Chains A and B, each alone.
Chain A
Amino acid sequence: MQKQLHSIRFIEEKCIGCVTCIRACPTKAIRVIHDKARVNYDRCINCGECFRVCPHDAIASETTPPADLKEFQCTIALPSPVLYSQFDRDILPNQILLALKRFGFDYVFDEAWDCDLTTDALQEYLDTTDGPFPKISITCPVVVRLIAMLYPNLIKHLVELEIPRESAAKKFREKAAKSRGIPQEKIGVFHITPCPAKVISINSPVGTDKSNLDGAIAIKDIYGPLLEILPDVEETEILQLSSGIGIAWSIIGGEIMGLRQENCLAVSGVQDVIQTLNDVEAGKFKDTLFLECLICPDGCIGGSLTVQNRHIARRRVRMLIKMFGDHTRVSREMLLRLYREEYFSLKKEIKPTPFPPLDKDKAKAIQKVKQREEIFKKLPGKNCSACGAPDCRSFAQDVVLDERTIDECVFLAREEL
């Protein structure tokens, strides 16, 4: 299977060079050059905002096509708990897991159960960590990348616990290899994902050398087939282990719902997360123990690869929490054993990957900031994006970096006439 390095891809034939995506990008990573959008992947955090807003269907997510399952002798599905929120109210998680199995996976495991486990591990971790506070969740790969790129100071705030999909993938791959008597690499482990960013966290993971997953299949790509299979599913076995605590991980506030610690906060949505990280950096949140930050609005149910209206999905999750309870089913004995066995430990330190400075030489970098501000003052400040940059300041910066020339500003060009 070819490994992609990015979660999204621009389809050149479809892109007409409108400026919708460049204005939606929170890190200003996109420019329109010669009527086509171009991404500077060094600045891309894989949030999927461009994918969401593109009116021309010119951005594709790089998820795994379900056909890739055939490349493996044995396949395992690990569905995000978000999948449970996508169907009608009379369809329960166990039926959905069984439908996945009928779809063609040899094994289907309830990833939400690992969310149950990780909630208790997180509780243990927060009780014993020395800080610095607030500790910040690493569940959302976009938030982790955002911090590594723009908030390197906050890296030491990240929770040092493996995320559920990774710990689950490792455990089930080992189990399946043993019971089938085949090598681990012949087994394909696939996450069923609500967002394109998971693909990146699988292909270039942080906190570990190699992801335990082989791919991520978009919920939207598997939803149709599941709808077809569901009416014929017979409940012959129980695959769902999770309680409401694990299922809650699909909505914002879900990670902290099951914690006994009260001094925790949850923030979702690109702009709110960025604002909050700025405030953390300014020292505003030092009295908070734990911060759950998810980039999609309302959490993973707001992922761009989901199919259900996220408000309906949220209501659905609330119902499932009620139905399956918000008390942990994890025995303390088991949890402590797993903790001792380092089941939850991150394998590798998360390293900062900051944006390159305007210049390696500090004096030259300062000069470039000055030049940028001088050019910026000459621009109309209307942020029209007609030049192909998201706003006037970004355009000024492109001019300083010799990527554009100032006469590309339509307002200045008009004055010349």
Chain B
Amino acid sequence: MVENNTFVQQYEIKGWDFTRAGEASCEIKNILKEIGTPPEIIRRVAIATYEAEMNIVMYAKHGVIHCLIDPHYICITLEDQGPGIADINRALEEGFSTATPEIREMGFGAGMGLPNIKRNSDSFHITSEIGSGTKLEMKFYL
């Protein structure tokens, strides 16, 4: 990996900050457009990153999105200080959600977040610890 050809950017995400929610994923998407990424890949990155960013906003106190863009792949890592996921396998089932009524009122919490992220990324890795947080890594190959 040639260091010089890799673009790295970090975004801080605050929990319940709904006014700025979605800005980081939109910025990442715009950079991908600027470097001439094929639209189909941009579409998948946009959807997966947005869902993951919203997960931090809705469930965690604080989180960081780390974005790495290389000529051959894109790697987005999201790390949060949140409640953690008790049963990852269940969370990956479509329709499973622990969202509060407030979150559902905003149109989220349909239990499609994680399945959607997994479906749209080329590689997907998630680890979580109850009470301390969740780390999600997704890759997209160019």
Q: Contact residues of A with B, CB < 8 Å?
A: 150, 152-153, 278-279, 281-284, 352, 354-360, 362-363, 365-367, 369-370, 373
Contact = CB atoms under 8 A, between A and B. Distances in A.
Given A362-B71, A366-B70, A282 B35 contact: no
Nearest to A372: B34
B36 A360 contact: yes
Contact of B142 (A284, A355, A362): A362
Interface stretch (B44-52, B75-83, B86-94, B122-130): B44-52
Contacts of B22: 278-279, 282
B6 A281 contact: no
A370 B2 CA distance: 14
B104 to A, nearest CB: 14
Given A153-B39, A367-B5, A369-B35, A281 B142 contact: no
A282 B26 contact: yes
21 contacts: A278-B29, A279-B22, A281-B46, A283-B50, A354-B33, A354-B39, A355-B33, A357-B33, A358-B35, A360-B36, A362-B36, A362-B142, A365-B36, A366-B35, A366-B70, A366-B71, A367-B4, A369-B31, A369-B35, A370-B4, A373-B9
B47 A282 contact: yes
B116 A283 contact: yes
Interface in B19-70: 22, 25-26, 29, 31, 33-36, 39-40, 42-43, 46-47, 50-51, 69-70
Given A283-B51, A283-B116, A367-B5, A153 B35 contact: no
Where chain A touches its partner, the secondary structure class is helix
A370 B69 CA distance: 10
A278 B5 contact: no
Contact of B25 (A282, A352, A356): A282
Of B31, B35, B50, B51, most buried by chain A (CB within 10 Å of CB) is B35
Interface of B: 2, 4-7, 9, 22, 25-26, 29, 31, 33-36, 39-40, 42-43, 46-47, 50-51, 69-71, 116, 142
Contacts of B70: 366
A152 B69 CA distance: 20
B35 A357 contact: yes
- 3 A-B pairs closest in CB distance: A357-B36, A282-B50, A365-B35
Given A282-B22, A366-B6, A358 B47 contact: no
A224 B55 CA distance: 57
B71 A282 contact: no
Contacts of A150: 33
Contacts of B50: 282-284
A45 B105 CA distance: 36
Of B36, B40, B69, most buried by chain A (CB within 10 Å of CB) is B36
B46 A283 contact: yes
A352 B39 contact: yes
A253 B36 CA distance: 35
Contacts of B39: 152-153, 352, 354
Nearest to A280: B46
B13 to A, nearest CB: 15
Nearest to A356: B36
B46 A282 contact: yes
Contacts of B116: 283
B3 to A, nearest CB: 10
Nearest to A365: B35
Contacts of A279: 22
Nearest to A369: B7
Contacts of A355: 33-34
A349 to B, nearest CB: 15
A357 B69 CA distance: 15
A281 B7 contact: no
Contacts of B42: 153, 281
A373 B30 CA distance: 13
A283 B43 CA distance: 9
A87 to B, nearest CB: 42
B43 A366 contact: no
A365 B4 CA distance: 11
